[in-house]
């Protein structure tokens, strides 16, 4: 009987359809991310809807983002999975995927955010001065937290799909991946770009961002999927490969952003006025 594959990784037989990885260390990390997701989402929701953040400045925003960022690094160190216990840190899946996502989130925040400024008309108004390349530093930390949830949701759903069939239809597989990627981008925009936050975070045209910008942003999740999915899925992935592929995924993502900018332009024409690449 044949098996389903993606990114040259065997994902299982039809009679063994599964949501979580066969690798126990990877399955443990996936469950940790899913359990943590409601906690950070609730924290973000409470802060937004109670206007708590409006009294914060640099220190307050940084402490809040650290409070959400650090547990995903500290908890696996204090309470490692049985499969990882006693193993070197660089050999543990949870550490490797954290490093991959941190590299990806940092570079996307440093460079990619400027495409959001220029192509999607995104604007920040946080009353803070701690920025890195015109991006609030606390958002680098929060991007990491968001991406841990996004990638694990896509991973488990795609694994369930791929392992449920002898020969997964490649067209339907790609359509499912694009649908999930679009849904992630749409959901984040819909939840974050609300009128009550418009003085802190907004898009020049929220409706256009939801309709068209979600395709632009959703490309990020479609591109990152095969890279993160293959880490320790069948064979152990060395840390050096994790780092190199995180950098490669970032390069592909920036090429996607620039392809959109050069061929389609901004979703709101007035946003892109001024010429030149967004990052210089």
Residues 84, 91: Cα–Cα separation, whole Å: 8
In this predicted structure, what is the pLDDT of residue 50?
Answer: 83
| CA-based radius of gyration for the chain | 19
In this predicted structure, what is the pLDDT of residue 197?
Answer: 78
Residue 211 DSSP one-character state: I
The backbone torsions φ and ψ at residue 278, rounded to the nearest 5 degrees and listed phi first, read: -65, -25
Residues 146, 101: Cα–Cα separation, whole Å: 10
Q: Per-10-residue mean pLDDT for the chain, 280 residues long?
A: 46 68 96 97 89 85 96 96 94 98 97 93 89 94 97 96 89 96 93 81 90 93 96 95 97 95 85 52
Q: Are 230 and 7 in contact (CB under 8 A)?
A: yes
The backbone torsions φ and ψ at residue 129, rounded to the nearest 5 degrees and listed phi first, read: -120, -10
In this predicted structure, what is the pLDDT of residue 97?
Answer: 98
The dihedral over CA atoms of 170, 176, 178, 184, expressed in degrees to the nearest 10, equals -150
Q: Are 11 and 233 in contact (CB under 8 A)?
A: yes
Q: Where are the domains of the chain?
A: 26-272
Paired strand residues for 12:
4
pTM: 0.90
In this predicted structure, what is the pLDDT of residue 2?
Answer: 41
């Amino acid at each position: 009987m044949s098996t389903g594959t993606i990114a040259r990784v065997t994902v299982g037989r039809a009679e063994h359809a599964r949501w979580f990885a066969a690798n126990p260390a990877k399955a443990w990390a996936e469950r940790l991310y899913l359990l943590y997701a409601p906690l950070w989402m609730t924290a973000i929701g409470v802060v937004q809807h109670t206007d708590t953040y409006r009294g914060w400045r640099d220190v307050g925003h940084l402490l809040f983002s650290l409070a959400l960022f650090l547990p995903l690094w500290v908890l696996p160190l204090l309470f490692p999975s049985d499969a990882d216990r006693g193993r070197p840190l660089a050999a543990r899946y949870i550490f490797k995927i954290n490093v991959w996502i941190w590299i990806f989130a940092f570079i996307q925040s440093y460079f990619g955010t400027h495409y959001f400024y220029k192509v999607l008309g995104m604007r920040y108004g946080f009353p803070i001065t701690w920025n890195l390349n015109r991006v609030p530093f606390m958002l680098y930390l929060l991007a990491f937290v968001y991406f841990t949830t996004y990638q694990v949701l896509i991973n488990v759903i795609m694994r369930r799909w791929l392992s449920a069939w002898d020969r997964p239809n490649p067209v339907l597989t790609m359509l499912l991946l694009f649908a999930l990627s679009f849904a992630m981008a749409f959901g984040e925009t819909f939840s974050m770009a609300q009128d009550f936050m418009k003085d802190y975070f907004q898009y020049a045209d929220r409706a256009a961002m939801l309709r068209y910008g979600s395709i632009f942003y959703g490309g990020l999740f479609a591109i990152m999927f095969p890279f993160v999915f293959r880490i320790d899925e069948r064979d152990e992935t060395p840390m050096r490969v994790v780092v190199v592929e995180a950098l490669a995924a970032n390069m592909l993502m920036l090429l996607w952003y620039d392809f959109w900018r050069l061929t389609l332009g901004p979703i709101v024409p007035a946003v892109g006025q001024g010429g030149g690449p967004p990052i210089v």
